[in-house]
Structure 1
Amino acid sequence: MKEKKTWHINGFVGIVLLLALAGLSAYAFFKEQPVVGVALAVVAVAMLTSISIIQPNQSSAIIFFGKYLGTVREGGFWLVTPFSTQKKISLRVRNFNSAKLKVNDIDGNPIEIAAVVVFRVVDTAKALFDVDNYEQFVEIQSETALRHVASKYPYDNLDRDGYSLRGNTEEVAAELAKELQSRLAVAGVEVIEARLTHLAYSTEIASAMLQRQQAAAIISAREKIVEGAVGMVQMAISRLERDGLTLDEERKAAMINNLMVAIVSDRSAQPVVNAGSLY
Structure 2
Amino acid sequence: MSTTTSHTSESDGPADGPARSARLIQNESTTEIPVHLLFRDDPDPAPVPVKPAVVGRRQGTGEQPRVRRPVAPRRPVPEVDPGLVERPARVLPGAAGVLAGVCGAAGCVATSWWAGVLPPLALEALRLPAYAGAGLGPAQWAAYAGAGALGLFGLGGLARGRTGRAWVLDLFGRYRGTVRRSGLLWVNPLLLRRRVDVRLRHWRSEPLHAADGSGVALRVVVLVVWRVRDTARAMLGVEDHETYLRECVEAALARVPVEMPGGPRGAGGAAAEALTGLVAADAAPVGLEVFSVQPVRVEYAPEIAAAMHRRRIAQLDARHRASVLTSVVDSVEDTVTRLTMRGLVELDDYERKVLVKDLTVAFCAGRGETAP
**How big is the shift at 1:110?**
2.6
- Matched-pair contact (CA < 8 Å) for 1:22–1:44: yes
Please identify, of 97-106 and 61-70, the stretch whose mean Cα deviation from structure 2 is larger.
97-106
Question: Aligned residue for 2:81?
Answer: none
- Aligned pairs for 1:76-95 (under 5 A) are 76-95=183-202
Which of 9, 22, 43 is the matching residue for 2:92? Answer: 9
Please identify, of 124-133 and 194-203, the stretch whose mean Cα deviation from structure 2 is larger.
194-203
Q: What does the per-residue CA deviation read over 1:30-49, in whole Å, with 9 as the maximum and x for residues that have no partner? A: 55754455334322222222
Structure 1 residues 14, 268: closer, same or farther in 2, change over 3 A?
farther
* Structure 2 gap segments, 5+ residues each: 1-83, 116-138, 320-325, 347-372
Report the number of matched residues: 224
Which of 159, 163, 179 is the matching residue for 1:56? Answer: 163
Confirm or deny that 1:22 pairs with 2:121: no
Q: What does the per-residue CA deviation read over 1:49-89, in whole Å, with 9 as the maximum and x for residues that have no partner? A: 21212333111112223222111112222101232211111
Q: In structure 2, the residue corresponding to 1:62 is in which secondary structure?
A: strand
**How big is the shift at 1:278?**
7.3
**How big is the shift at 1:267?**
7.5
Question: Aligned residue for 2:354?
Answer: none
**How big is the shift at 1:113?**
2.5
* Structure 1 gap segments, 5+ residues each: 159-163, 219-264
Question: Aligned residue for 1:198?
Answer: 297
- Matched-pair contact (CA < 8 Å) for 2:204–2:224: yes
**How big is the shift at 1:213?**
8.3
- Matched-pair contact (CA < 8 Å) for 1:156–1:167: no
Separation of aligned partners in 2, 1:29 and 1:54? 36
Confirm or deny that 1:68 pairs with 2:135: no
**How big is the shift at 1:20?**
2.8
Which of 169, 172, 191 is the matching residue for 2:268? Answer: 169
TM-score, normalised via structure 2 length: 0.51
Question: Aligned residue for 1:244?
Answer: none
Q: Which has the higher strand share?
A: 1
**How big is the shift at 1:180?**
0.7
Q: Which has the higher helix share?
A: 1
What amino acid does structure 2 have at the position aligned with 1:64? L
Question: Aligned residue for 2:235?
Answer: 128
- Aligned pairs for 1:185-264 (under 5 A) are 185-201=284-300, 202-203=304-305, 205-207=307-309, 210=312
Confirm or deny that 1:275 pairs with 2:275: no
What amino acid does structure 2 have at the position aligned with 1:184? A
**How big is the shift at 1:139?**
1.5
Structure 1 residues 99, 209: closer, same or farther in 2, change over 3 A?
farther
Which structure: larger Rg?
Answer: 2
Separation of aligned partners in 1, 2:143 and 2:164? 42
Q: In structure 2, the residue corresponding to 1:61 is in which secondary structure?
A: strand
Question: Aligned residue for 2:146?
Answer: 39
- Matched-pair contact (CA < 8 Å) for 1:95–1:118: yes
